[in-house]
Amino acid sequence: MNAQDRMMSKKWGVFNHYLYYSEKGYSFPDAEGEVWERGVAPMAREWCEQTESFDTEKLARTLHEIGCGYYMVTVMQGTRFLLAPNEAYSRITGIAPGHGCCERDLIKDIALSLKKYDIDLYLYYTGDGPHFDRIAGPKMGLYEDYQAGLHGKVSESFVRNWAAVLGEYAARYGELVKGWWVDGCYESLGYNNALLSIYYDAIRKGNPDALAAFNSGTASFVHPDGDDTPVKWYENEGFTCGEDNDFTYIFKTRFTDGAQNHLLIPLGDYRDGNICAGWRNTGVRRSKEYVADYIRKNNAAGAVITVDIFVDCRGNFDPAQVEALKYIGANV
C-alpha cells in the first residue's frame, strides 16, 4: 500500500492546535508582545511545564475509542515555542532547549503512544517559522512586526535555515510521521516551487514515503465567499491542504493533479458568529449525524477529511466533541 492509499484507507482524522499562547488564552500574534512584557524565561518555563503535563497515553486511548485513523498536531506557529528539542534550531537562533523548544520530545512520545493503536501521526509545520519572535525570527532570516508595518518575505537563506530544523525532525522520527501539513507557504511571501522543494527534500530525509501539503492561503481552499475549488499548490504535493471553514464542500474525485484530495475543517462552535473563528474551539457546530454523513460522502468520492478539535494541554478532550466523534467513528 502506498502512502496515498494508506491515507485514504484511514478515511478521517483529527487535528489538534497545541500551542503555548492558545492554551494561555492569548490572541495570535499578540502572544509575542506578551513574551516581551513578561519576559521570555517565565513563559518558556510554562511552555516546558505544559508539554511535560501532556498525557500521550490518554490521548491515544481516546483517539482509539473515537475510531479515527490519524492525528495531526502543531509543531509550532509563529512563536519561538516548538514541540520538541532541535539542535539545528538552537544552533541557528542561539536559543537553548527549554527556552524555545521544549525539553521533552513530545512528538516522539505522541508517536509511540499512537503506534500502539495503529493511529498515524501527521505534523503541522509552517513556512514562516518563528517570524514574530524578536530573536529567533531575525536569526532564522524572517521577522515580521505588524504594528510597526514590517512584513517580511522569505529568502533562500531563511528557507534553508528553516528546512534544517524540519529535516532534523523528519530524520529523527522517520516512518513514525506519515505526512506534513505546512502552513504559510504563500506566493505573497515569496514562495515558489523551487523554494518549496527544499522543504519537500527535508521532509523525505526521514521517510521517503512521507506525504506533504503546502498551504498557499486563499488558493488552498479558504473561500468563505468565493469558489471552493481544490488546488494543488506545489508540484510534488501528496495531498491537498484543503483548509475550509465548514462541512459543506463535497469532492467529486479522489485526486487533484495527482494529489490526494483532503479537507481540514473545524468542528468547534463559531466565536462571536464569525465563521472563520472556529479553530481549537469546544462544542459542535454541526450535528454528529450531519458530520458523519458529510465524511461518508467525501470518502465515497475518494477524499479524506480532517476534523479540527479541542484537546487541552494535558490531553483532555471536550466531552461534547467526544460524543460526536464516537458516533462519527462508528458510522463512517
pLDDT digits (tens, 9 = 90+) for 268-297: 987 766 666 678 899 999 999 999 999 999
- CATH number of the CATH domain containing 227: 3.20.20.80
Put residue 124 in one of left, alpha, beta given phi > 0 → left and psi -120 to 50 → alpha.
beta
Instruction: Note down the domain range covering 153.
Output: 3-331
pLDDT tens track for 136-150: 999 999 998 777 767
Counting as low any pLDDT under 70, the low residues of the chain are: 23-39, 149, 218-228, 272-277
Q: What is the structure's pLDDT at 224? A: 47
- Reference 10, options 60, 68, 49, 52; nearest CA is 68
Query: Which residue reads 493503536 in cell numbers?
Result: 117
Q: How far is CA 188 from CA 133, 170, 239, 268, 330, in A?
A: 20, 27, 22, 30, 42
- Reference 59, options 14, 105, 6; nearest CA is 14
Q: What is the structure's pLDDT at 243? A: 87
Domain count, the chain: 1
- Dist. CA 188–CA 153, nearest whole Å: 8
Helix (H) or strand (E) holding 68: none
Q: What is the structure's pLDDT at 170? A: 98
Residue 167, CB half-sphere, CA atoms under 13 Å: how many?
14
Long-range own/partner contacts, residues 38-47 (CB < 8 A, 24 or more apart): 40/80, 40/99, 41/99, 44/80, 44/81, 44/98, 44/99, 44/100, 45/98, 46/20, 47/20, 47/81, 47/102
